[in-house]
A = this chain, B = another copy of it.
């Protein structure tokens, strides 16, 4: 994990929001992230791909849905840095609203059951 790439990945509002949301929620599919961000799906998908290529996040296919989570092999210093950021910014905007928007979302795919909208 080259640090330059990691910080470049964090240097975008949407990516930082998604990453902090993943850090707080554990694992989310693209439709959940799209809903929480209030952004267009292709944009969410492309920014997720960017973070995946850098090794920040990992994807897992489960039927129609693709779940993203923090990459398990992320070095400890990166996890510590992210934890510091989440601790400092998680309670403020826009991250608080992001979690709220996610909570009010209906028909979320839980695990692998239930259907989506």
Contacts and interface: CB of A to CB of B under 8 A. Distances in A.
Instruction: Specify how many copies of this chain sit in the oligomer.
Output: 2
Contacts of A112: none
Interface of A: 3-4, 7-8, 10-13, 16, 75-78, 80-85, 87-89
Judged by DSSP, the binding face of A is: helix
A13 B76 CA distance: 20
Contacts of A12: 4
B4 A7 contact: no
A12 B8 CA distance: 8
Contact of A3 (B16, B80, B83): B16
Contacts of A80: 81, 84, 87-88
